[in-house]
Amino acid sequence: MAIQYARLRYISRSKGMNACSRSAYNGNLKIRDNRIGKNFDFSKRKTNVYHEILLPIHADKKFKDIEYLMNEVEIKERRKNSQLLKEYVLALPGKKEISLRHKIALTKLFVRKLRLIKEGLAVVIDIHKPSEDDINWYSKILVTTRRFLYHGCCLGKKARELDIPVKGGRNNVFVPKALSVNNGKIWKDIQNSFFKFLGLDLKVDHINDIPQDHIGIKKYGILAEEKRLLKGAN
């Protein structure tokens, strides 16, 4: 089954979240946050089948190290309510319908469509196979909120023009412009074009038509997922 589910949200300190924790969780990795002196270990999870960091051409290759990259993200943000990263979660076609190589290609087509790398941002792709209590594949995409400086040695200013300011209280809150477009439709169109190119007889189901056994969609809509993150920290 293929569906058009594509969720976007901020990874924000105001929600008790952490860049090192989130990337460790997504990648099934152990990552140390040097800023707070804490390890986040999710290496016992075995759902991740693909991990890759995509960088702008001018970025220093040292940022291909996920721990180095995420510590840079944490160090650059000094506010207790800082927005650290953006995260996309894409529902991928099932294993019987399309290969892992195709799943990777689909995910990269989505990243390319949004022009994230060309905007000077770092992108971390993690692809997950179904867990024991699920039957669905997912791609998780972390995107830095800051661009690399022109010489690529570190992250610079926030890419604010990619966001929309929403006034609230004494401070402005920024939300991604991508939230104002239908990411599900973009994802649906990418998949349909890809299936057609491969000559596959596949249909992308609308998000409202997801069958009840699509457990993963329900799970990702539960904020309790964040509580599980801290349980893996030591």
Q: What is the pLDDT of residue 130?
A: 87
pLDDT over 50 (residue 118) = yes
Over residues 27-79, the pLDDT tens digits come to 999 999 999 999 999 999 999 999 999 999 999 999 999 999 999 999 999 88
Strands 163-168 and 38-41: unpaired
The reported pLDDT for the residue numbered 135 is 75
Helix axes 183-198, 100-113, angle to 10 degrees: 130
Digit-coded pLDDT (tens) for 175-220: 555 544 578 889 999 999 999 999 988 888 766 444 444 444 444 4
Alpha-helical runs (H) found in 29-181: 66-76, 100-113
Number of structural domains found in the chain:
1
234 burial via Cβ count (<10 Å: 0-12, 13-18, 19+): exposed
Q: Which amino acid makes up residue 179?
A: L
For residue 8, the one-letter residue type is L
* pLDDT for res 181: 56
C-beta of residue 56 within 8 angstroms of C-beta of residue 115: no
User: 14-18, 28-32, 230-234: which has the minimum mean pLDDT?
Assistant: 230-234
CATH number at residue 55: 3.30.930.30
Range of the domain at 132: 2-231
Closest CA to 200 of 104, 97, 106: 97
| Band of residue 174 on the pLDDT scale cut at 50, 70, 90 | low
